[in-house]
Amino acid sequence: MNIGSPPKTALIFGGSRGIGAAAVKRLAQDGYAVGFTYANSEKPAAALVEAIVGQGGEALAIRADSADAAALTSAVAQFVDRFGKIDLVLVNAGLFRMNTIEAVTLDELDSMLAVNVRGVYLSIQAAAPHIVDGGRVVTIGSNVAIRTGFPGSSVYQMTKGAVAAMVKGVALDLAPRRITVNNIQPGPTDTDINAGSIDMLSQMSPLKRVAKPEEIAGLVSYLAREEARYMTGASLTIDGGFTL
């Protein structure tokens, strides 16, 4: 960064816990002013802001439900009002429910589609006018878009497959502005969503462990760098060989 130049900025949708929080921390360490949304985790969100500010960074927590289109638009407006521009957008917010097709309720289907597909699209759509030319968009999908060995994951798999397809079209839409759009597909990761299943999932992995959130955040950091400016429309699987 040149002396006197404004910091780069990153807006993370779903950043108060797990992979999102790890990405917020990593991007702050990389010199970004960060803003992130959260739905219900007010205390973790406040603690994350405090930690980043305490280390000399800039951070903003914004309450916004990714199923609420107006809330997403408002979150972008609040971020731009504070930081003036967007250099990187990370869409991490997601909802996970398991049920076999005979038992999936309409509410479960609609809620996962609303957050995992509609919410991802609307987050990018709301942010796009404010992303600087040459900026970055990154989504967090899942390796289940490739393969899932568990019954009961059909809806979740469908939504993550949709994200992998979505980034291709969005990448073409934003290519004239040199904005890259890429999707990260993590395997099992040590987050709240997998609490109680870490040992089982570790045994299923060729590497006999699950990912750390910081490892996924490292890939986000890479996609934000100049070295990654020629990659767009890609889905990058980081799952320790889980889908081999």
Catalytic residue among 32, 121, 156, 222: 156
pTM recorded for the entire structure:
0.95
Structural domain of residue 163, as residue ranges?
9-235
Whether residue 242 is contained in a domain is answered as: no
Whether residue 156 is contained in a domain is answered as: yes
Whether residue 192 is contained in a domain is answered as: yes
CA distance 166 to 224: 19
Reported as half-sphere exposure (CB side, CA atoms, 13 A), residue 57 has a value of 23
Residue 134: give its domain's CATH number.
3.40.50.720
Whether residue 133 is contained in a domain is answered as: yes
What is the structure's pLDDT at 196? 80
Whether residue 243 is contained in a domain is answered as: no
Q: Quote the number of domains for the chain.
A: 1
What is the structure's pLDDT at 3? 54
Burial 7-25 (b: 16+ CB within 10 A, else e): bbbbbbbbbbbbbbbbbbb
What is the structure's pLDDT at 41? 86
What is the structure's pLDDT at 1? 44
Whether residue 244 is contained in a domain is answered as: no
Whether residue 4 is contained in a domain is answered as: no
Give the chain's residues under pLDDT 70.
1-4
Whether 156 is catalytic: yes
Whether residue 241 is contained in a domain is answered as: no
